[in-house]
Structure 1
Amino acid sequence: MTWHNQEWWPNLLRLDILDDNAGDLSPYGEDFDYAEEFQKLDLEAVKADIEDVMTDSQDWWPADYGHYGPLFIRMAWHSAGTYRTLDGRAGAAGGLQRLPPESSWPDNVNLDKARRLLQPVKQKYGRKLSWGDLIILAGNVALESMGFETQGFAGGRVDEYKSNEAIEWGPETDWETTSPERFEDEEVGNLKDPLANTVMGLIYVNPEGPYGEPDVEGSAANIREEFSRMAMDDEETVALIAGGHTFGKVHGASDPEEHVGAEPEAAPIEEQGLGWDNDFGEGKGPDAITSGIEGPWNSSPIQWDMGYIDNLLGHDWTSVKGPGGAWQWEPVGDDIEAAPAPHAPDETEEPMMLTTDVALKHDDDYREVLERFQENPDEFQQAFARAWFKLIHRDMGPRERFLGPEVPDETFIWQDPVPDADYDIVGDDEVAELEEAILDSDLTRTQLVKTAWASASTYRDSDKRGGANGARIRLEPQRSWEANEPEELAAVLDTYEEIQAAFNDRDDDVRVSLADLIVLGGNVAVEQAAADAGYDVDVPFEPGRTDATAEQTDADSFEPLEPKVDAFRNYLGDGDFDDLYDTLEERMVDKADLLDLSVSELTVLVGGMRALGATYEDTDRGVFTDDPGTLTNDFFQTLLDMDYEWEPVDEDEEVFEGYDRDTGEQELEATRFDLIFGSNARLRAYADVYAADDDEEQFVQDFADAWHKVMTLDRFDLE
């Protein structure tokens, strides 16, 4: 066995999750433009090929009811359904279901077969069709082939070729377990951030009920907790569950623990990436085993209808152990319409329900939605169409990233829309005029930098949300976030609005948005700070941002973007964290990853922000310079200077005091965000470069480049 650094030193800060941001791992190379390739597809031809596969049952993995539609819906659902709002990670982007750990989750048993069935389609279209898009498109085609009218489909999911190790799935080390550490206060209830699934290795919740028991009240509570963390309200939740369970069946011909083998990542090499070898009977078809629960939900498993809702509400249900040894629910009495057996049409099966299904019926709010859908089938169809479209596209970001002929005309509130400019965008002459107006105002360099950073750094590369475009920093909830120092922010915004009004009151059609002004102000401050240090640096400015309105902003959905801490502004928050990150520096790396930063970009941005004095409430913590506001490498030089020794101010070890070794006088103050760049060997290696006398110019240029990157992360129109 080869031991790695993390095994030798388990508390070592993991920086490798940032390495993927430094380069492209795709075999197609950095010049590959997937959007351009996707647009070459004949989407109707692709869909026809998928439907051919869907209705051509294969002996090696025979289709239930002669139709792979339900299997492909499950594949697409389980790909997209991992998305969570807390950090925007997971979801269908990247085709991560084909990589561990998702490829081997217990909840994804036999989805390896679904992807292999689609291999000929992927092979035919190659680089024009990513696995991420193919998996989702197959789910859409499945719905349409069984009589459902979808909202549409958008391509644009670029495949990953390495597992996203930044995704924190939970504290457990065993599959299908739930530990107290998964929940706040170590009690079942609110999940710790950033989790969404309540069980390790399951997409959502345990279908048998909490801890594998048929507890309908507890199951309803878990459903609401989980679905809310993937941005779904009660109506969307019911629509998704009811719509999805309208199709297909679950498989539990016998006990999985007795008959099902290792998952793909643990299977022997001769299995070639397939897993869950089943030695019960033929191991497939009527003998298939997935969850261990057995049976269909209604009498027409490959047709869109009201069968699921009618069965759930129209019958009483009692919990029993099924043939797979799992808890499921059977109807009371024998008056329910039977379903055809999936591999013997002349035989029948009795419909069943999961604990999670019955939970919807016994929860007052969920039941009200079910009854409304039952009385209004068209409303149910529309609700499922909209919720399904949201589910499979939620992690793709704004509408301009959506590709293909089936993109709906409607822009949805969850896409964080910004208006199109109905005016002429500023050019070079106007930008120069605005720069002068900013410099002539009473705004300080620190205010300019902090405001621009607060606006742009909300961006998350995980789901392409946030960023400076839209200027939502002037709207709730961002305007009142503690990290943004609301009173000072309000004063800065007032000044920007005065500059904007004076400029836009001119006779011509050229206008400037607050979003552009905020970024331009930060750029001006960086250029001035570099000039004061003796370096001529140009920070590129690309105008074109517009200002979103409150009506275009789902305020509640922006709450997860609020920074609990911010290493770049040395903001420590209130210290009351009940999440899965142990230290401040782990939270710093997590944020750097969401900003798509490399290790060097993280390092140079922290050092530059300290040189600029851009700290929360303008504290001196980490501002290791006598000339704050000037872009020098003083932070790194002082940090690595052996003239100082450090001691924590209290047992929390979050704030430290620096003492002169000769005099014993306390001269400096720092946080863990600062000292980690001297403590961690890899971060120190970068700090050592930027501390060198002859590398200050490189530091200044690298900071300007990294700053520009953050300011334009959300400018998808520039790609």
Structure 2
Amino acid sequence: MDKKSQASAGKCPFAHGANTSLASSNTDWWPNSLNLDILSQHDKKTNPMDPDFDYAAAFAQLDLEAVKQDLRDLINSSQDWWPSDYGSYIGMMVRTAWHLAGTYRKQDGRGGANTGNQRFAPLNSWPDNVNTDKGRRLLWPIKKKYGNKISWGDLIVLAGTVAYEVAGLKTFGFGGGRVDIWHPEKDIYWGEERKWLDATKNRYGDDQDRTTLENPLAAVQMGLIYVNPEGVDGHPDPLKTAQDMRTTFDRMAMNDEETVALTAGGHTVGKAHGNGKAELLGANTEAADVEFQGLGWHNPEGTGNGCNTMVSGIEGAWTTHPTKWDNEYFYLLFTYDWEQRKSPAGAHQWEPINIKEEDKPVDAHNPNVRRNPIMTDADMALKMDPEYRKIAERFYHDPAYFAEVFARAWFKLTHRDMGPKSRYLGADVPAEDLIWQDPVPSVDYTLSEAEIDELKAKLLNSGLTCSELINTAWDSARTYRGSDFRGGANGARIRLSPQKDWVGNEPERLHKVLAKLEEIQASLNKKVSIADLIVLGGTAAVEKAAQEAGFAVKVPFTPGRGDATQEQTDEYSFADLEPKHDGYRNWLKQDYAVQPEEMLLDRTQLMGLTAPEMTVLIGGMRVLGTNYAGAKEGVFTDRVGVLSNDFFVNLTDMENTWEPVGKNLYEIRDRKTGAVKWTATRVDLVFGSNSILRSYAEVYAQDDNKEKFVHDFIAAWNKVMNADRFDVKK
């Protein structure tokens, strides 16, 4: 580097490629390009664990009771570097677990406690997560002690659950099985704002209709877990806050009763912190300099903690005894009138009028002083919203019922993103099957290879076309979401409401196929589930298509799926799994603001597929003739139904021209004659236009990779069909 170059680089002779504040990415240069990073999140290169590490096996070696005792000892202590309130970390552990799990949203299943993602940006630095970093650091000695046997996700949730037990609540149970990630989940859309708590950015289609909150979001503002505790946009109005709560908690799969229980139960223990000036706090966790060692929001006032702790800005406890599980929350809420006041930090909060001295909680760090209890706008909503009040009054008059409902709601909150109960680990897993766990009956049969071959022949000779069999298997399996392990072919819920009537499932074709499969099932000596027959039908059709391409391959099939009943299916909850698009079948339910290829990436990531797997599946599905309603877009072959690499060969053929002829519609013409050869959508053409996807397409277009294409398609197909088979070693 010459002197002139050194001067232009700040007189530093070293390159700055690793400095994230200076480096530019391709998306900085080309912000409108298709960003495939969503499909390469959590690459194995970032995982420090050994390739053969099995978390379930490690957890099985854990002394869970010993961990719980260590947690009790921690909760009942106070550390000098971060003193506990009232000599207890109950509130701290509950809040840390709550804010880890509370990011879950049912629309796309993302968020939640399953990955321990609170350790990374942006969640570790959200304004609503102030000082959850202290909660995790308090847990570090226990994590260090038990190491690989318990993940951060499991430990944080367990700590919150044990905290409630220490307070006196009979909890519903605990299931382990959350596997940690090792870098931020950049693929989760938390909103378009570029500023925390930005009230100038409206997430609502109609500000007067709070149900129009932008999908798939659940929180009302960037940086919040739920709603603003001071009121909508920071302005107290309990009735309007109730509207936000109803929408936000519904987006988390909670009904009104669960919402009231969680709000009241969450505020039965612990306190809010606002005894200081928020503007004096240091940088958040991600922005704090190295001397803070991963701890954010340094408070220069007083001791910076204890009585000087700053979190939400609201200051005070909700109940008289904030370390005990009791019914004081409702007693105070309904016994006293409440008025708006300001905290020492200037935040809006509600305080009681003329409260008895004995009903006041003592100061968190000076037992000789009593303070007013407080309520947030969300708490007052339970008193002022007519529906919430009915529920709250019942809880007030029936403490045992309140405790039971809360215990179940807490369990749901902290386990909702874990999928079926079969994934839960440990001795504290409740025996009861809960409908939100999407239970599927187990099967008691096995199938030999000869029996599988016989069933394949029956299915192929049933009068159903190969495309009908493939589409039904695909539609059944494509609902799987790796975000919360819901959906998939197991259970055959495609034959039940609401799935049987989804537009994307082509109900008329689906009814025809299901009727034939039920007829075949009734003719068998050994009853095989419809779920297995659906998958096997598609598998047999793919195998036949590969053989017609000249490759004598056998597509794997693993039986063992059960058939769920309508009673085991939460129709309201499953409505969120309805596909609004499917690039693999070249279908959009309607026009959207987002481009079809971007929606394809989102669907692909939820299904747990990589970019190469996506590519090979698209090419195979097109030549197999599986487009929705038999559409011809993207079917670049004269041999429909043959598992050939024709899609890629013809896509990359430079004898073609590609011309837009309508919204999301293109014609592929012969360069010499101008004759139309095929039509296509954006999803088809992006595999030739995007440089990364084209590199994959070119691999499969090569003359020497015809067999590789078939084998790769079968592997990807098998992955989709078995994505929800947690009983099968993958």
TM-score interval w.r.t. the shorter chain? over 0.9
1:23–1:203 Cα change, 3 Å: same
- Partner of residue 158, structure 2: 137
- Partner of residue 140, structure 2: 119
State the TM-score, normalizing by the size of structure 2.
Answer: 0.95
For 1:473 and 1:700, locate their aligned partners in 2 and report how far apart those are by CA, in whole Å: 28
Instruction: Please tell me whether residue 620 in structure 1 is matched to residue 632 in structure 2.
Output: yes
Question: Matched residues, percent identical?
Answer: 53
Deviation readout 1:148-198 (Å, 9 max, x if unpaired): 110011100011001111210001000112455522357762222111111
**1:596-635 map, 5 Å:** 596-635=608-647
For 2:360 and 2:306, locate their aligned partners in 1 and report how far apart those are by CA, in whole Å: 19
- Partner of residue 256, structure 2: 234
Q: CA deviation at 1:24?
A: 6.3
Cα pair 1:132 1:159 within 8 Å, conserved: yes
Query: Which amino acid is 1:50 matched to?
Result: L
For residue 531 of structure 2, the aligned residue among 515, 526, 541 is 515
Q: CA deviation at 1:22?
A: 6.0
For 1:661 and 1:96, locate their aligned partners in 2 and report how far apart those are by CA, in whole Å: 51
Query: Which amino acid is 1:166 matched to?
Result: D
The number of equivalent residue pairs is 706
1:448–1:12 Cα change, 3 Å: same
- Partner of residue 588, structure 1: 600
Whose relative contact order is higher, 1 or 2, with alpha carbons under 8 Å and at least 6 apart? 1
Instruction: Please tell me whether residue 381 in structure 1 is matched to residue 403 in structure 2.
Output: yes
Q: CA deviation at 1:443?
A: 0.7
For residue 558 of structure 1, the aligned residue among 567, 570, 574 is 574
Query: Which amino acid is 2:540 matched to?
Result: V
5+ long unaligned stretches in structure 1? none
- Partner of residue 647, structure 1: 659
Q: CA deviation at 1:532?
A: 0.5
**1:101-116 map, 5 Å:** 101-116=122-137
Instruction: Please tell me whether residue 674 in structure 1 is matched to residue 684 in structure 2.
Output: yes
Q: CA deviation at 1:481?
A: 0.9
Deviation readout 1:296-354 (Å, 9 max, x if unpaired): 10110000011111111221111122111111011122336110100001111110100
Q: CA deviation at 1:108?
A: 0.7
1:560–1:56 Cα change, 3 Å: same
Deviation readout 1:548-578 (Å, 9 max, x if unpaired): 0000000110111111110000012111x47
Secondary structure of 1:657's partner?
A: strand
Cα pair 2:42 2:182 within 8 Å, conserved: no
- Partner of residue 408, structure 1: 430
- Partner of residue 419, structure 1: 441
Cα pair 1:171 1:181 within 8 Å, conserved: no
For 1:192 and 1:525, locate their aligned partners in 2 and report how far apart those are by CA, in whole Å: 40
For residue 702 of structure 1, the aligned residue among 707, 712, 718 is 712
For 1:489 and 1:250, locate their aligned partners in 2 and report how far apart those are by CA, in whole Å: 54
Secondary structure of 1:37's partner?
A: helix
5+ long unaligned stretches in structure 2? 1-21
For 1:145 and 1:715, locate their aligned partners in 2 and report how far apart those are by CA, in whole Å: 37
Cα pair 1:180 1:187 within 8 Å, conserved: no
Cα pair 1:83 1:90 within 8 Å, conserved: yes
Cα pair 1:425 1:512 within 8 Å, conserved: no
- Partner of residue 457, structure 1: 478
State the TM-score, normalizing by the size of structure 1.
Answer: 0.97
Deviation readout 1:405-459 (Å, 9 max, x if unpaired): 10001010000001122x4232222212111111111111111111000001110
Deviation readout 1:264-285 (Å, 9 max, x if unpaired): 1100111110100001221110
**Does 248-257 or 395-404 show the bigger shift?**
248-257
For residue 296 of structure 2, the aligned residue among 257, 275, 290 is 275
For 2:661 and 2:256, locate their aligned partners in 1 and report how far apart those are by CA, in whole Å: 47
For 2:614 and 2:42, locate their aligned partners in 1 and report how far apart those are by CA, in whole Å: 11
**1:274-673 map, 5 Å:** 274-335=295-356, 337-421=359-443, 423-503=444-524, 506=525, 510-575=526-591, 577=592, 582-650=594-662, 653-673=663-683
Instruction: Please tell me whether residue 87 in structure 1 is matched to residue 108 in structure 2.
Output: yes
For 2:505 and 2:45, locate their aligned partners in 1 and report how far apart those are by CA, in whole Å: 33
Query: Which amino acid is 1:339 matched to?
Result: P
Cα pair 2:476 2:494 within 8 Å, conserved: yes
**1:49-60 map, 5 Å:** 49-60=70-81
For 2:23 and 2:232, locate their aligned partners in 1 and report how far apart those are by CA, in whole Å: 38
For 2:206 and 2:30, locate their aligned partners in 1 and report how far apart those are by CA, in whole Å: 28
For 2:132 and 2:586, locate their aligned partners in 1 and report how far apart those are by CA, in whole Å: 45
For 1:658 and 1:420, locate their aligned partners in 2 and report how far apart those are by CA, in whole Å: 49
- Partner of residue 691, structure 1: 701
For 2:208 and 2:700, locate their aligned partners in 1 and report how far apart those are by CA, in whole Å: 46
Secondary structure of 2:626's partner?
A: coil
**Does 683-692 or 316-325 show the bigger shift?**
316-325
For residue 65 of structure 1, the aligned residue among 86, 97, 103 is 86
For 1:621 and 1:410, locate their aligned partners in 2 and report how far apart those are by CA, in whole Å: 48
- Partner of residue 42, structure 1: 63
Cα pair 2:655 2:670 within 8 Å, conserved: yes
Q: CA deviation at 1:29?
A: 2.3
Query: Which amino acid is 1:525 matched to?
Result: A
Secondary structure of 2:674's partner?
A: coil
For 1:283 and 1:398, locate their aligned partners in 2 and report how far apart those are by CA, in whole Å: 43
- Partner of residue 246, structure 1: 268
Instruction: Please tell me whether residue 219 in structure 1 is matched to residue 250 in structure 2.
Output: no
For 1:61 and 1:335, locate their aligned partners in 2 and report how far apart those are by CA, in whole Å: 32
For 1:536 and 1:299, locate their aligned partners in 2 and report how far apart those are by CA, in whole Å: 74
**Does 16-25 or 356-365 show the bigger shift?**
16-25
For 1:620 and 1:55, locate their aligned partners in 2 and report how far apart those are by CA, in whole Å: 67
Query: Which amino acid is 1:707 matched to?
Result: W
Query: Which amino acid is 2:303 matched to?
Result: E
- Partner of residue 8, structure 2: none
Q: CA deviation at 1:644?
A: 2.1
